[in-house]
Structures are given as C-alpha cells and as structure tokens.
Structure 1
C-alpha cells in the first residue's frame, strides 16, 4: 500500500470534504481518503492506494471537486 499526503486549499465544510473524497476516491487503485479540514485554509488529505498516484491525476480530481491542490 502507498500513502500520499496532499494539501488542498479552499475547503470550508463537510460538503467540501465529501466532494474531494468522492473525486479522489474514484481514481483507480484508491482504497481510502481521509481529510483533516481546516476551514478556509489548507487542509491535509491522506490517500491510501495500491500503487503510487500521479500528481496530474490527483490535481485533476481535486480540481474537478472545485478546489486547489497546493
């Protein structure tokens, strides 16, 4: 298993967390997504996956949710 730690900017609530978890969780090989929400700041996101995930794939998933990968 691989663990990837990300920083995501712009999330403010539980709905934001759900959107990011859904988009990242849809990537191939992702087992779990955990978010430590910092309202209006930079939130920590931890992704557990079968193999390393590409930065561009993660960035596209976060962007699709409406937020910015820092």
Structure 2
C-alpha cells in the first residue's frame, strides 16, 4: 500500500485524473480516496508494481505532485 498526500486534489475531476494516471502504470491498481484530507491510498499488484517514485513522478506530471 502506497499513500500520497495530494494538496492539489480537491474534487471529483481530480479523483478521475489521479485514477487514470495510476491506471496507466498499473491497470489493476485499487485506489482509495480521502478527498477532505486530500490523500490517496494505492494498492498495486505485487508482481509488477510501479515504484512509489514512478507513481509520484506520473502524478506530478499530471499536475498532482505529492506533498513531501
């Protein structure tokens, strides 16, 4: 399980964009959102899971950089 705080995530459109971005790297990833706290938990497949760094880079490129 990987968790990111995404300060720029604030609405349903953001949730869809984050989901689409993660699914480009892992189509079977399961995402759980806490929109009020602006966090996402990502459960990736164990056999071919993208690294947290790869996920963070992809999210940053889409305009949702994780907080440090």
The alignment's TM-score, normalised by the length of structure 2, stands at: 0.75
Which consecutive unaligned segments of at least 5 residues does structure 1 have? none
2:19 to 21, 27, 31: 21
Across the two proteins, how many residue pairs are aligned to each other? 65
| Secondary structure at 2:17 match in 1 | helix
Q: Which one has a larger percent strand, Structure 1 or Structure 2?
A: 1
Contact in 1 for aligned 2:10/2:38 (Cα 8 Å)? no
The alignment's TM-score, normalised by the length of structure 1, stands at: 0.73
Contact in 2 for aligned 1:35/1:45 (Cα 8 Å)? yes
Which of structure 1's runs of 4+ aligned residues deviate more than 6 A?
none
1:31–1:67 distance in 2 versus 1, CA, 3 Å: closer
Match of 2:43 in 1: 48
Which consecutive unaligned segments of at least 5 residues does structure 2 have? none
CA RMSD of aligned residues (A): 1.9
Contact in 2 for aligned 1:25/1:33 (Cα 8 Å)? no
